[in-house]
């Protein structure tokens, strides 16, 4: 059985190339994006762009499948976060012939008010082993909420698999706080993405340096480089 790091070291750069070419990951260290928070950031991630190519969708599902083998985890149910995690959870569930569910950010304001869809008449996972599939782990807040919803609905959720992570300390702390524990793993990590972007010429050495600086201090980076937050 392959070690998990061997799998991510193989699939991570492949996915980074696809994501950069499709615009799922965009890098502008010299002309930063404005995030919803108002902070100026040199990276913007929208993994929905990966849906445009069957090859990219298949790559994500293949990587997730291999990661599950390395973790020796055979889930009873694949749960995607709404909305960006749903298509990748669906592809993986079809590949593995597993039941599919998805977790909303909050319960519906009508009908049965359910937060999780796909559980059948009981409205419960009934002790099933559940894998949560995310597209992006930023601060980890949405992932944590989804894991807690799965547990509250009778699911056992020891793992979250995601496409990409910024690797922010906030997400590390958020997952560490979960009880029962749920460990997050991603196909592509930030450092590997920057290395791939440099390798294929998407950024130059100075751009890579700026991106690595952002990773160390994401919320202070913009002001330090002359891009103060915009007031909302």
Q: How confident is the model at residue 21 (pLDDT cuts 50, 70, 90)?
A: very high
Question: For 157-204, where are the alpha helices, taking DSSP H only?
Answer: 169-176, 190-199
pLDDT top residue among 74 and 111:
74
- pLDDT confidence of residue 142: 93
Q: How confident is the model at residue 160 (pLDDT cuts 50, 70, 90)?
A: very high
- pLDDT confidence of residue 105: 80
Which is it for strands 33-34 and 116-117: parallel, antiparallel or unpaired? unpaired
Q: How confident is the model at residue 107 (pLDDT cuts 50, 70, 90)?
A: low
Which is it for strands 40-41 and 100-103: parallel, antiparallel or unpaired? unpaired
26 has pLDDT over 60: yes
What mean pLDDT is predicted for residues 219-227? 95
Please name each of the domains of the chain with its CATH number. Answer: 4-224 (3.40.50.2020)
Question: For 72-200, where are the alpha helices, taking DSSP H only?
Answer: 86-96, 141-152, 169-176, 190-199
**Per-residue pLDDT tens digits for 185-208:** 999 999 999 999 999 999 999 999
- pLDDT confidence of residue 56: 97
**Per-residue pLDDT tens digits for 43-59:** 999 999 999 999 999 99
Pair 24, 196: CB distance under 8 Å: no
114 has pLDDT over 90: no
What mean pLDDT is predicted for residues 63-92? 97
What mean pLDDT is predicted for residues 149-161? 97
11 has pLDDT over 50: yes
- pLDDT confidence of residue 112: 45
Tokens of 202: 């998407």
Q: How confident is the model at residue 108 (pLDDT cuts 50, 70, 90)?
A: very low
Only one residue has tokens 């100026």, namely 40
- pLDDT confidence of residue 111: 42
- pLDDT confidence of residue 231: 78
Tokens of 172: 């590390």
| Cα–Cα distance measured from residue 140 to residue 182, given in angstroms and rounded to the nearest whole number | 12
């Amino acid at each position: 059985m392959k070690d998990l790091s061997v799998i991510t070291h193989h699939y991570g750069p492949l996915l980074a190339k696809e994501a950069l070419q499709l615009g799922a990951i965009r890098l502008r260290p010299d002309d930063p994006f404005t995030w919803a928070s108002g902070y100026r950031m040199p990276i913007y991630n929208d993994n929905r762009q990966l849906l445009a190519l069957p090859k990219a969708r298949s790559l994500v599902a293949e990587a997730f499948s291999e990661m599950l083998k390395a973790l020796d985890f055979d889930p009873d149910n694949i749960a995607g976060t709404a909305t960006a995690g749903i298509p990748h959870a669906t592809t993986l569930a079809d590949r593995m012939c597993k039941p599919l569910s998805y977790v909303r950010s909050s319960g519906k304001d009508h009908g049965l008010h359910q937060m999780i869809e796909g559980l059948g008449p009981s409205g419960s996972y009934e002790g099933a082993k559940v894998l949560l599939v995310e597209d992006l782990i930023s601060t980890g807040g949405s992932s944590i909420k989804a894991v807690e919803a799965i547990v509250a609905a009778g699911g056992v959720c020891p793992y979250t698999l995601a496409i990409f992570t910024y690797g922010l300390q906030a997400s590390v702390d958020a997952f560490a706080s979960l009880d029962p524990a749920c460990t997050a793993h991603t196909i592509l990590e930030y450092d590997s993405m920057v290395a791939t972007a440099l390798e294929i010429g998407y950024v130059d050495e100075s751009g890579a340096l700026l991106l690595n600086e952002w990773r160390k201090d994401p919320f202070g980076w913009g002001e330090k480089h002359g891009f103060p937050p915009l007031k909302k």
